[in-house]
Amino acid sequence: MKLFLDTANLADIETALQKGFIKGITTNPSLMAKEPKGNYIDHMKKIVKLIDQYSNPVSLSVEVFAQNKEDIITQAEELVGEIQYENLSIKVPIGWEELEAIYTLSNQGISVNCTCIFSEAQCMLATNAGAQYISIFGNRVKELRGNFTGTVGATRKWLDMNNITKTEIIMGSIRSGIDIVDAQLAGAHIVTAGLPHYIKMSEHPGTTASVDQFMTDFEGWLT
């Protein structure tokens, strides 16, 4: 399972790129709203510059903020043209009108990350419309249905049964390292989470105790 970073924060992105474990970056309007005010496209270009700096050509998902299919298509085309990044995906929320935008963009060769998904049925629609990624909002699904693993598992089973390999499941709305493990066990291809979750994943009391013991033993041998 691949790990994506869910943020628009340049410092967090640079830190994760330095560590080398992320395979993608996802952004959304709410994450952008946490950053200093500025130009949306210019901010995305700064992210691309960081990616290029570390020679790590990860996937980058950038969300449209238009709300009708014509404007979504136009805005998506503008983002692709302005950002000029080979591994760019355009995030489009699932919806009846939005399906046509997903289909149109996909047929133009533009990678689409269909977002705001809460059900297996939505996953099926987005996949058939041509989405490369289908982003399930894990803990928001959990709040409504009690768990998210059923949605992820059923969708992965449907993809595998139909030999669909062009579309990958992204699990978002992550609130703990346990969520990340659960998503992997359920069959998600990708998890996207904030940097603090990955930092916590790298830590364990047993690791700290073992390293301390190694150093104590070695220092005793040196003396």
Segment 191-205 shows an average pLDDT of 96
**pLDDT exceeds 80 at position 11:** yes
Q: For 121-137, write each residue's pLDDT tens digit.
A: 999 999 999 999 999 99
pLDDT of residue 15 exceeding 80? yes
Cite the beta strand spans of the chain per DSSP E: 2-6, 24-26, 59-63, 88-93, 111-117, 133-137, 168-172, 190-193
- Average of per-residue pLDDT values in the chain: 95
The residues that are catalytic are 91
Tokens of 41: 């496209």
- In which residue are the tokens 């133009």 written? 108
Predicted model pTM: 0.94
Residue 147, pLDDT score: 82
DSSP letter string, 3-16: EEEE---HHHHHHH
| All domains in the chain, ordered by first residue | 2-222 (3.20.20.70)
CA distance 131 to 110: 9
pLDDT at 223 (0 to 100):
81
159 touches 190 (CB < 8 A):
no
Mean pLDDT over residues 83-107, rounded?
98
For residue 139, what pLDDT is reported? 87
Residue 146 above 80 pLDDT? no
What's the rounded mean pLDDT across residues 59-84? 97
